[in-house]
Structure formats: structure tokens, C-alpha cells
Amino acid sequence: MNGKPLVIKFLTAAFAIAGLINLLALIAPTYFASMAGFSWLVNTTDVVATAILAIIGIFQLITAWAVYEKEEYASDLAILFAILGLFSYPAGTILMALSILMMATSDARQWLS
């Protein structure tokens, strides 16, 4: 990560962490429900919500890579998935709120433009 502004290192880490947190949604509901003997609690709504979180997580990891590599579409992805990440309460909300603030800095705007 040499030669990259500190704000870009932060954005890369924030999107990677948020993406991994959302990917954990794939295993958490079914794993913990089955451990407790409540597998009947896992219904269609849980499966759909889990799939949506997993898809957002994959795209957050792609966004982390795009920001790190200075891809031309990185700013669009960063804004979109930072806003979507605000709904991943509590850790995602904090990370993505900080990411939105960091994207407003001059270093980030210059890197992402």
C-alpha cells in the first residue's frame, strides 16, 4: 500500500471489513439456529435477506479492490455501497458513515476522479 494516501488505505480496509461482515450473514442465521435446535426459525424471509446481504458483501469487496487499484468506476461503487452499507447496523453503519466522510476529503476526491 505504499504511495497511496492514508484515506485510500482506510477506504479499502473499511469496504473490505464491511464486505466480510455482510458475507458472514451467509452462515450466521442458519448456523446458530441449527445449533440451538431452532432450524424451523429459518424461513424464506431470512434466506432472501441473507442473500441480499451476501450480494452487497461481495460488491463491497469488489469496491475495496476498485478503490485500491484506482479503477475508473471506483467512486460510483464507493458512493453506492457506502450508502447501502449504512443499513448494516451497527458496525457497517459506523464504517460506512466514516467512509462517506473520508470520500469528501481532497485526497480521496483526487484519487477517485
The DSSP letter of residue 43 is: -
Predicted pLDDT of residue 91:
79
Predicted pLDDT of residue 37:
59
Query: Domain limits at 95?
Result: 6-112
104 by Cβ neighbours in 10 Å (0-12 / 13-18 / 19+) ranks as exposed
Residues (pLDDT < 70) of the chain are 1, 29-43
Query: How many Cα atoms occupy the beta-carbon half-sphere of 64 within 13 Å?
Result: 21
Domain presence at residue 81: yes
Predicted pLDDT of residue 1:
55
Domain presence at residue 23: yes
Write the pLDDT tens digit of every residue in 23-48: 887 777 666 566 655 555 566 777 78
Helix axes 28-35, 44-69, angle to 10 degrees: 140
Give dist(CA 40, CA 11) in Å, integer. 39
Work out how many domains the chain is built from and give that number: 1
Domain presence at residue 42: yes
Domain presence at residue 1: no
Cell of 20: 466480510
Predicted pLDDT of residue 113:
86
| Alpha-helical regions (H) of 1-113 | 6-23, 28-35, 44-69, 74-85, 91-103, 106-112
Domain presence at residue 48: yes
* Amino acid letter for position 34: S
Domain presence at residue 70: yes
Domain presence at residue 106: yes
Domain presence at residue 41: yes
Give dist(CA 63, CA 112) in Å, integer. 12
